[in-house]
Chains A and B, each alone.
Chain A
Amino acid sequence: MKVDADGFSFDFTDALDAFVFDEKDKTKPTYHGQPMKAVDIIAEFPDAYIFVEMKDFNDPAAYDTKDFSTEDELNAKRDCFKWLKNYLKYKYRDSYLFRHAEEKVDKPIHYICLLTFDNALNTAMRKALQNELPVGLASKRWKHEIVKSCQVVNVAKWNENFPKWPVRHASTGRA
C-alpha cells in the first residue's frame, strides 16, 4: 500500500490500510479538515496502528543541544530542540484525539518520527518525547495507553528496522 507525503514515498506492504492523515483534499474520504494538528500518515495492521510524522531538515546541528560554543547558542539550540519536541508531541496528541472521536484507537498505537538527523540526536529526541507523550501506562489511573511506543529514526534506520515498509525520498529516489 503506497503512500506519498512530505517528500517521502512509503510502501506499507502488509498494511490493512494506510493513508495521508492530514489530508487537505476535500474530495477525499480521509479529508482531515479540523483545526487540530495532525501527523502525516496513519497505517493500520491486524494488531496495531502506526502514526508517522516526517521532517526533512537542512540543518540538524540547530537542534543538537550537546554541542554549543556560547550560552546564547546553547539557549537557541535548546529552543530549537524544544520547539521540535513540542511540535512532534502535540501532533501526536491531537491526532490521537481525532482518532478517539473516530473510535479508531482500538489497537496499540506506535508513533514513529522520521527525522533526517544522526542516530545520536534521534536517540536524544526519542528520550524527550517518550517522557512527555507519555509512552505506556504512565499514570496508575489509566486503563489504557495513549501510545504504546515512540521511535525516532532516520531513513537508513527506518529501512533497516522496517523492511516491510520501505521508504525513500520521493523527489530524488535516494533511499
Chain B
Amino acid sequence: MLEKIKFEKFTAFEKLEVKFSPGINIFVGENGTGKTHILKAAYAACDIAKSKGGFAEKINNVFYPSGKQIGRLVKRSSTSSKGFVEISRKIDEKSINLRLSLSNHTARPENSRVSGSTKAWLEAPFEAAYIPVKDMMANAPGFRSLYEEREIHFEEIYVDIIRKAFLPALKGPTDGKRKKLLELLQDAMDGKVVAKNEEFFLRNRHGELEFTLLAEGLRKLGLLWVLIQNGTLLNGSALFWDEPETNLNPKLMKAIVGILLELQRIGVQIFLTTHDYVILKEFDLQSQADDKIFFHSLFRNGESGEIERSTTSNYLDIAPNAIDDTFGSIVDREIEKSMEGLGK
C-alpha cells in the first residue's frame, strides 16, 4: 500500500507532499496542477516492484520527456537545479521509501540516483494498472510489438495497459466478490470481453463486436472487466485511472463508481483524477462509513504561483473545488447579468 509521495523541484511541483488514503484517492484541480504527474510517478514506483526494472528508467518511460532526457523532469528554473520524487510504501506495518534524485543536467536515467529501500521494494511485488485518458484497447493489435521494436513517441503507460489486458485469466474458480464485480460490469456493458489474436471483442447474445466498433466508454468498462477477470485488480493491487469520465455516458458513472468502491472494499488502492461533478458526487453519495476516501484538491497559490494541496474526506469540504467553482462562476455571471450591481 502506498503511504505518501513527496516532490521537490520535480515536473510542475516546487515542493509537494501527498499522504494517500489506503482506499480511494481522488485528485481534483484545474488543468496544469499536476494531477496526472502524481499518478504517473506513483504508478512507476508500483510497476517496478513487479517488473524489477529501474525506477529512473520507468519514470523516464512513463513521463517521456523530450529526447528522453530525464533531466528535463526537473522543474524548470533559470539556474542549475536538483529535484527528487520520493514514494513511501507500507509493507507489513513497516514503511519503506524509494527516491529518485536528479539534476536538470542529468541526461540519462543511469546517471540519476535512486536511493532508499530499493531491495525491500523489489522483494515485495504487487500488481498495478494505469488506465490512461485515451483508450488503447481498440489499438491493441500489433501495438505491443511495434512498441518493442521501434522508438515510437508513446508514454509507456499505453503499452503497459495493453500488456496487462492480455494477461490470461486467473486459474481456478472466480471468488464470490470478483464474480459480483464482473457481473456488475457485464450488466453495464451488456456483455463480456473476449480476446482473439490480439483483438478484443464484446460478446453478447447478438454476437461478437470488435472494440473498434464499440463506443469508447464501453471499451473502458471492458478494460476494467479484463483487469478484474485476469486478477490484475486483487487485494493489495493498485489502480490508477486518469479521468474515468472521458467518453463515458454519465449514466454509466454510477456503475463505475459503484465498482471502484467495491474494488476498494476488497483491498485495491485506487488513485484517480477527475474534472467531473457526477463522478465526485457519486463517490459522496455511494460511499459508506467504512470506505476510506480522500479528496485531494490541487491548486496554485495565488501569490507564489506554486502548486499546493488540500485533502479532506468530506465532499462538501473540498476547497478549492475546481469542479464546483465552474458552477459557481455561472452563479456569479447570472447575478451580474440580472441584478445590475445591487449589493456590490
Contact A120-B277, Cβ < 8 Å, known A64-B285, A67-B282, A68-B254: yes
Contact check, A61 vs B343: say whether CB atoms are below 8 A apart: no
**B194 lies within 8 A of chain A by Cβ:** no
0 or 1 for each of A145-168: is its CB under 8 Å from B? (1 = yes): 000110111000100111111000
Q: A67-B278, A69-B258, A110-B342 are in contact. Are A151 and B335 (CB under 8 A)?
A: yes
Bitwise, B266-306 to A at CB < 8 A (1) or not (0) is 00000000000110011011100000000000000000000
User: Does chain B have a CB within 8 A of A45?
Assistant: yes
Query: Are B324 and A119 within 8 A (Cβ)?
Result: yes
Question: Does B93 lie at the interface of the complex (its beta carbon under 8 Å from any beta carbon of A)?
Answer: no
Taking the nearest CB of chain B, how far is it from the CB of A139, in angstroms?
A: 19
Contact partners of A118 in chain B: CB under 8 A: 316, 321, 324, 327
Q: Which residues does B use to contact A, with CB under 8 Å?
A: 254, 258, 277-278, 281-282, 284-286, 316, 321, 323-325, 327-328, 330-332, 334-336, 338-339, 342-344
Q: Identify B286's interface contact among A50, A69, A120, A157, CB under 8 A.
A: A69
Set A60, A157, A164: member contacting B332, Cβ < 8 A: A157
Interchain Cβ contacts under 8 Å between A and B, 21 examples = A50-B342, A67-B278, A67-B281, A68-B285, A69-B286, A110-B339, A119-B324, A119-B330, A120-B277, A120-B281, A120-B327, A122-B331, A123-B327, A123-B330, A151-B334, A161-B332, A161-B335, A161-B336, A161-B343, A163-B343, A164-B343
Q: Please indicate the chain B residues that have their CB under 8 angstroms from the CB of A120 in the complex.
A: 277, 281, 323-324, 327
Please judge, given known A-B contacts A60-B316, A161-B343, A165-B343, whether A66 and B286 are in contact too, CB under 8 Å. Answer: no
The answer to whether B331 and A157 touch across the interface, beta carbons within 8 angstroms, is yes
Interface residues of A, Cβ cutoff 8 Å to B: 14, 45, 48, 50, 60-61, 64, 66-69, 110, 118-120, 122-123, 126, 148-149, 151-153, 157, 160-165
Contacts of B336 in A (CB 8 A): 161
Distance (Å) between the CB of A166 and the closest chain B CB? 10
Q: Which 9 interchain pairs have the tightest Cβ spacing? A: A162-B343, A149-B338, A119-B327, A119-B328, A120-B327, A67-B281, A67-B285, A161-B335, A118-B324
Could you tell me the distance in whole angstroms from the C-beta of B297 to the nearest C-beta in chain A?
14
Q: Which residue of A lies closest to B282 (CB)?
A: A67
Inter-chain contact total with CB atoms closer than 8 Å: 81
Residues of chain B within 8 A of A160, CB atoms compared: 332
The distance in angstroms between the C-alpha atoms of A69 and B251, with both chains bound, is: 10
Residue of A nearest to B281 (CB): A67
Residues in chain A near residue B331, CB distance under 8 A: 119, 122-123, 126, 151-153, 157, 161
A48 with B342: CB separation less than 8 A: yes
Q: Chain B: which residue is nearest A118 at the CB level?
A: B324
B254, B324, B328, B339: the one within 8 Å of A151 (CB):
B339
**CB within 8 Å for A61 and B339 given contacts A118-B316, A123-B330:** no
Closest to B330 in A: A123
A61-B285, A69-B258, A69-B286 are known contacts. Are A149 and B339 too (CB-CB below 8 A)? yes
Q: Which residues of A contact B254 (CB under 8 A)?
A: 67-69
Output the nearest chain B residue to A149 by Cβ-Cβ distance.
Answer: B338
Given A123-B331, A151-B331, A160-B332, decide whether A69 and B285 contact each other with a Cβ distance below 8 A: yes
Report the separation of the CA atoms of residues A118 and B10 in the bound assembly, to the nearest whole angstrom.
34
Partner pick for A45 among B325, B334, B342, CB 8 A cutoff: B342
Which of B284, B325, B330, B331 has the most C-beta atoms of chain A within 10 angstroms of its own C-beta?
B331
Q: Which residue of B lies closest to A47 (CB)?
A: B342
Q: How far is the CA of A126 from the CA of B278 in the complex (A)?
A: 19
Shortest CB-to-CB span from B318 to chain A, Å, is: 9
Q: Select from chain A the residue with minimum beta-carbon distance to B332.
A: A161
Residues of A within 8 A of B335 (CB): 151, 153, 161
Other than the given A69-B254, A118-B316, A119-B328, 13 more pairs (CB < 8 A) read A61-B284, A66-B277, A68-B254, A68-B285, A118-B321, A120-B324, A123-B331, A149-B338, A151-B335, A151-B339, A157-B328, A164-B343, A165-B343
